[in-house]
Structure formats: structure tokens, C-alpha cells
A = this chain, B = another copy of it.
């Protein structure tokens, strides 16, 4: 947590995507961060965005991405640019000594992401991706349950899904259906979260095998609009994931362990900003499955999960800036694993659902 004497981390917003509105508010709400600057490809666009989001007069407006990189009063950059631009701008940001909060998917593939990580390591800057739910206090409670060898036991299977039905305009014009922009489509935009949930429940161990499920839907340009996949680990742990731009909202986790069951209905974006729920079911009998009924748990959060994310990012940046700490390798490490699984599912889709081995990756 920031102490009263710490100066808030000065964050620059690099790009004016829709999601940048949510994160701007989150930076405002995080006690240890402040919006210092905003950049777009034109001064006018950046100004319009700043006004629309109620930025203070003191926020600097940059008419180009280069310009914000050179701003000495910016500690860190939030980068919600299209995925295809991540490798260029995240590397340049790191080389400019800026810490990076990078939207997901972090890159078009892991080779690109490795360039970003290398630049961050070389320049001693923190990298974190924009997976908000990871920072909700509920997630810590889910982790407690999933790794409780009495209540949950050993994980056997997790199903996670994220779907949101888009409109016709989105399917024609959104950057998330354009191969040269967010070319990973629904897999990168929504599947990212479902994959992250599967990795989370497996303590971020990479699966051994990944296979796309039959029935992937691509648009005319070959971008994934909807897909599913199966993942398997050693000792019989498995996962299935589903993501789609074509189906109504679903954001469920169902995880079954040897002793317990976990259900979350809204894992990506909780129903309420102030609290979030999950359900657990303890050891059942074969002939009386509901001998233990499901129990609902509710977890409060002082600030929305996206503000928790900014607060944690700013805390890590503060440790580096003010105390000479090293960047925390946990966050880029789990981004990389998520990207590896995204890549493997895409490869399996391209190879008619062939099994892809992740051993050695």
C-alpha cells in the first residue's frame, strides 16, 4: 500500500480505446496512482478523450505516441493499443524507461512478447498485463479454496468460459475482428481470461497438451469469432475453455477437486462493483450428492477490481522507483504462459484441432 508520504505513480495513457475509459477511472480511484498524461495519434483525439473522461487540466496532452515516451513526468504507461502494435510500442516504452501496464492479449504471439519482456528486463521496468479479475480480493479467496487440500483437495477439472454477443457493426468494423489489428479475435480478447482461469487453478503450471475443439467459427479474414479448447496436465488434471463474440454473456468457472467444487458466475466482471460472490460445495456422497449443500460466499472490495489492478501495478513501480527494488517477475511470467496457451490453441485451430504439445515451451 502507498503511504501518505509516497508520491503517486504518474501514469500516461497511451491510446484512447474504449477500455482506456475504464482504466482512467481506475487510475483515479487507485490511491497511489495519478493520470499524468494522455497520448493519441493526434492532439485533437487526445484532447477530446481527456475532456470526455474529465481529466484534470494538469494532465499533459500528447499528439503522438513518441511524444509521451519522452515525457519525463510520466513513470509508467498504460497501453491499450491494438495487439499488433504492442511489440513496437511496449518495447519503445521499456527502452524509454517507462513501466508498462499492457492490455491483453499482450502480443500477437509469444515470440513478440518475449521481445517485450527482454526490453523490460534490460531496462529494469515493471510489466503487468490488464487482467483485472486477477486483482479482485475475491480472487485471493478463490485461490485459498482451490489450494486447500482439505476443502478442495486436488484439482481434477476446470471449465471456464467468457462470451459476449457483439452487434453487426462490431463484426464488420471493430479492431478485434481485423487480422492486422487485434488479430487474435475472441481468443485473444475473451479466451485470454478463460485460459488465465485454467492456469490460475493449476497454480500456473503449463498444460502438457492443448487441443482446439471442433466447431471454431472464423470470419472471412480468418479471425476467430468463437472457439473452445481442451487442456490437459499430468496426473489427470484437465480443463475446457470456451470463448465467443457470438453468444450472450457467460463468464463461468466450474472447478472440481477431489474433495470440493467451486463455481463462479461472473469471474471476469463481477455483477456488483462493491463485492463479488462464489459458491463452494464440500465433499459429497456418491449416493447422496447433496449431503453438503453449496455455500455462497461474498467478498467485499474497497475499490473496483480495475483500481485494485492499478494500485498493485503502482505499488510495484513505487518499490522500484523509490526503494530500488527489482521488477516482479510473476506478472510477465503468467502473461507469457497465457500467451503460450493462446498461441497453442490458435495453432491447433489452424491444424484442424490437432493436439499441440507444450512440453519444452
Contact = CB atoms under 8 A, between A and B. Distances in A.
Interface in A316-347: none
Contacts of A167: 286
A59 interface: no
A101 to B, nearest CB: 20
B242 A242 contact: no
Contacts of A233: 215
Taking the full assembly, how many copies of this chain does it contain?
Answer: 2
A236 B227 CA distance: 9
A34 interface: no
A250 B233 CA distance: 20
Contacts of A45: none
A250 B256 contact: yes
Interface centre among A153, A265, A269, A286 (most CB of B within 10 A): A286
Contacts of A258: 165, 246-248
Interface size class, chain A:
35 or more
A64 interface: no
A228 B226 contact: no
A252 to B, nearest CB: 5
Contact of A214 (B238, B247, B269, B289): B238
Contacts of A353: 211, 355
Given A251-B289, A290-B269, A156 B246 contact: yes
B251 A230 contact: no
Contacts of A153: 248
Interface of A: 18, 153, 156-157, 159, 161, 163-167, 170, 209, 211, 213-215, 217, 226, 228, 230-233, 236-238, 240, 242, 244, 246-252, 254, 256-261, 263, 265-266, 269, 271, 279, 281-284, 286-287, 289-290, 293-294, 352-353, 355
Given A167-B286, A214-B232, 7 more contacts: A156-B244, A157-B226, A159-B159, A159-B254, A211-B211, A215-B232, A271-B294
